[in-house]
A = this chain, B = another copy of it.
Amino acid sequence: MSLSDARGVYVIAPTPFFDDGRIDFASIDRMTDFFIASGATGVTVLGQMGEAPKLDHAEALDIAQRVIRRATVPVVVGVSAPGFAGMRSLARASMDAGAAGVMIAPPNTLRTDDQIAGYFRQAADAIGGDVPFVLQDYPLTFSVVMTPAVIRRIVTENPSCVMLKHEDWPGLEKISALRAFERDGGMRPISILCGNGGLFLDFELERGADGAMTGYCFPDMLADVVRLHAEGRRDAMHDLFDAHLPLIRYEQQQGIGLAVRKYVLMRRGVIAAEAQRRPAVVLSAAARAEVDYLLARIARVDARAALA
């Protein structure tokens, strides 16, 4: 299967660490299994939320290989790097290890449409035209704003661009615009999976997105939401989504989000520790209590949130 047909939930995997900063490979295995059991149709490693910049080259590759070897679904590897040499070497090594594709985010110095399109042309060329890549569109974090027309240009200029990780905000009209391009024959169809912690997944699906690529701590719920949508059960989909929305919203807090995510995954027994490598954000006691309260409220509707 090509990534351009991808649907469902590609889970953004965090990187589990021990408290002393070493990588916890046993947790990586358990987490990979959990994602697949949760209904994930793919896994993405070494993204922003995977603390990729805190890993050195060898560590990054080790993690990618570990997940690829264990997963029974396609694995996408984040290869964003300050330069093309580092990007290329991680991309080639990942593909050699069996990755389905790589993901590239724009550096935050790009401003004009030409700069953005030029960057992705050079990046695609650097990693090789045979490597399928996911275009990450996340202005809130990267400060790079891509119009639908620029995305169309990148897709058109680079046959190896097969998927959009959509996390523009607001972004609903962008999905509609891209799907309209496809219908009009102006753009080759690509997969659109949505990030932003899932905050708008309900309507993103209704606008034509193929699913989610995000790391919300209940990927099983995300998979259910995508399934309910596919089954045309609109109200049921929103009911489930809305039950989780207070926590999705809480996890969306920049900087704190990953800490919340790891805390819940730890409480769910998926990873052994919530530790981050430095610079790390540590949840306060008040924040933990707030997350616990939110979990208890969700558990009234969704038993998976009933953590002992």
Interface membership of A2, Cβ < 8 A: no
Closest B residue, CB atoms, query A108:
B108
Closest B residue, CB atoms, query A85:
B56
Interface membership of A266, Cβ < 8 A: no
> Which chain B residues border A53 with CB–CB below 8 Å?
81-83, 86
Q: State the copy count for this chain.
A: 4
Say whether B112 contacts A83, CB under 8 Å. Answer: no
- Contact flag A85-B111 (CB < 8 Å), given A170-B255, A297-B238: no
Q: A150 CA to B115 CA in the complex, in Å?
A: 13
Map CB proximity to B onto A64-103 as digits: 1 under 8 Å, 0 otherwise. 0000000000000000011111101100000000000000
- Contact flag A254-B170 (CB < 8 Å), given A108-B108, A297-B238: yes
> Which chain B residues border A54 with CB–CB below 8 Å?
83-85
Closest B residue, CB atoms, query A284:
B173
A62 to chain B, nearest CB (A): 12
Interface membership of A231, Cβ < 8 A: no
Which A residues are within 8 Å of any B CB, using their own CB?
51-57, 59, 81-86, 88-89, 108, 111-115, 118-119, 122, 126, 144-147, 149-150, 169-170, 172-173, 176, 199-200, 202-203, 206-207, 238, 242, 245-246, 249-250, 253-256, 277-279, 284, 286-287, 290, 297
Add 12 more A-B contacts to A53-B81, A53-B83, A56-B86 (CB < 8 A): A53-B86, A56-B88, A81-B82, A112-B112, A114-B147, A115-B145, A126-B278, A172-B286, A203-B250, A206-B290, A242-B246, A245-B246
